[in-house]
Structures are given as structure tokens and as C-alpha cells.
Amino acid sequence: MSVTAAAPAPTDLPMARAINAGLRAAMRRDDKVLLMGEDIGPLGGVFRVTDGLQKEFGRDRVVDTPLAESGIIGTAIGLAMAGYRPVCEIQFDGFVFPGFDQLTTQLAKLSYRSQGRVQVPVVIRIPYGGGIRSIEHHSESPEALFAHTAGLRIVTPATAADAFTMVQQAIVAPDPVVFLEPKARYWERGEVDVDAPVDLGETGVTTGLHAARVVRPGRDATLAGYGPTVKTLLAAAQAAAAEGHELEVVDLRSVSPLDVGTVTASVRRTGRLVVAHEAPVFFGAGAELAARVTEECFYHLEAPVLRVGGFHTPYPAAAHEEEYLPGLDRVLDAVDRALAY
């Protein structure tokens, strides 16, 4: 009698460790993958996401760089043109701006400028968002700035499982990817099947990297968000259920390209949409989604699309960030207003 071995059980990992596992898997799969960033070697990065990787792969593949974001990204562009797949770590979201010129005027445009003859498969990993009571320039949400720049893919996981999968998909993509990591969720745990095959696409382009996902079904209204706000939206749906309202929650997962189809399918069922993100509402990603949904679902909407997010101010001091961030109460207030129509 033959005995079939049981499949390995998923591992319970915090998001930071899941990204570490994803980077390790990508580096073992392809020796052209290398990591670059400030203090990512023996220290393992300021959030310890790259902990242990230099010891396993050596200093030539896990490179401690000078404190020069423009130099990091510029060097990565050259390496990518030479056939490598560099993965750059920016220590904090607000530190990316010294490299913004390289990112938006060079990295984003080289493939288009060369009519596809030059590919620059660079991944820029950026811890972003608030919730860690940090100082100025350590809690930014700059996704709209990058999404407005054609030629960049912008993605962000909300769970450890997605972080493990999506970072590997980002690395094999032929285009530059800004991989936004919600730093407030780094140490929240989730089940990750590190032995499961990852959809990497035949040519490195997988629709899975940019596909939104319904993470909680509902019928009364749709809540859509990404990255750090998904947990808040799920908590709002749970609270609303106690009052008899069934809210559907959509994790967008990608800011550019934006999976509008999944959201419009949800809105056609529920008739209402509330979009939330930590970035300021003014000219934010939620505005684009609201406009697209209004265009495509006008006759299905029972209420205006509402947005919840940060205010049009610089990110505040730590003592005031709870008032700035779109917490449970502000999301539920928007739900109440949508349901009142």
C-alpha cells in the first residue's frame, strides 16, 4: 500500500519575514537577482527585511550602498541594462525623493524611449505609510506621484501571503516596479505557503500581480483599499455586520495598473463605493478609482462614491497621526453617509 506524503502546512510568518522569504526564493531561482540598499547587509535593513540574505548570498549580491538614493537607483538602471535584476531598498518612503528624478525621468521611460529594445527590470522596495509614530519624512504615502508617471508598475501587499508572492512576481516583471510595503503591517502575521508554486508568467508578466481581490463578500456597499488600509476596511465591515449591514471589501493590491473591473463588478452588486487610503484624498488614487467607477457604473450607483484618506497637509507629528490616518470611525462615517442615500 502506497502512502502519500502530506503537503507541508503553511508557515505562520510576519509580513517582513514573508518578503524576506520571497527575496530568498527569487535569488535562489536566478543568480542575476541582486539586492541594493543602505544597511541591508549584516544589519538586515532598518526593518530587518533582508536579515540573513548577505550571509547566504554574499556581498556581491546583497550590496550595502552609500546613503545616496539617486546613486542607488541610477546604478540599478545600469545593472538592469547589463542583464541583472536589481532590487533596491529605500529605507523610508520620504527618502525616495532624492532618487525621484532617476525613477521618473530615466527608469520609467527607457523602455518606451527605446521602443522596447531596452528593458530595465528594477524593483524599488519602499516601506510606506504611517502608524509607527515616527518622525518627519518617515510616514509618507507617495503612491499617486509614481502612479501618475507612465512606465512604472505600482503594487502593494496587504497580507504576508501576498507579500511573499508579489515580491517574486515583481522581480520577474520586465518593467520597473515600485513595491510599496506597509510598514505598520510588517510584524502582523499570516499563513504563507513558502513551498507552493508562484505564478511567474511565461514572459515574466503575470496578471496576478495586478489583480484586485474580493476579500470579504457583501451586498450593501463596497469598501476598496490597498496596503495598510485593507485591515481597517475589514474591521469596518465586521463592525457594520453587527448592525445588519453586509459590506464587501476589495483589496486593490495594485495602484498602477488599476484593476477597475473587479471593483465595478462589485459596485454593480452593491450600488455603493467607499474608497480609502492613507495618502491625502486630494488628487489621490481614490479619485481616479471614483471617476472610473462613476463612468462605468453610473446607473448602478445608489449614492456618490465617497473617499476617505489623509488630509491635504504634510504628515503630522506622531502625537497627531491617529487624527490624520483613515481609521475605523472615519470609514464607518463614510459608510453611514453612503447608506443614507
Q: What is the DSSP string of 273-301?
A: EEEEEEEESTT-HHHHHHHHHHHHHTTT-
pLDDT at residue 323, rounded to an integer: 93
Question: Which position among 138, 210, 245, 277 bears the catalytic label?
Answer: 138
pLDDT at residue 136, rounded to an integer: 87
Vertex 339 angle, CA 251 and 337, to 5° = 90
Residue with cell 484586485: 212
pLDDT at residue 10, rounded to an integer: 81
138 is annotated as an active-site residue: yes
pLDDT at residue 232, rounded to an integer: 98
The bridge status of strand 11-14 relative to strand 189-192 is: antiparallel
Partners of 214 in the beta sheet? Answer: 250
Which residue from 116, 93, 335 is spatially nearest to 235, judged by alpha carbons?
A: 335
Mean pLDDT by 10 residues, the chain (341 residues): 56 96 97 97 96 97 96 97 97 95 96 93 97 91 96 98 97 96 97 91 75 97 98 98 97 97 98 98 97 97 97 93 95 97 89
Strands (DSSP E) contained in 93-233 are 123-128, 153-155, 177-182, 189-192, 213-216, 221-225
pLDDT at residue 8, rounded to an integer: 61
Could you give the domains of the chain?
A: 11-206 (3.40.50.970), 213-339 (3.40.50.920)
Whether the Cβ atoms of residue 224 and residue 273 lie closer than 8 Å to each other:
yes
pLDDT at residue 6, rounded to an integer: 52
pLDDT at residue 135, rounded to an integer: 86
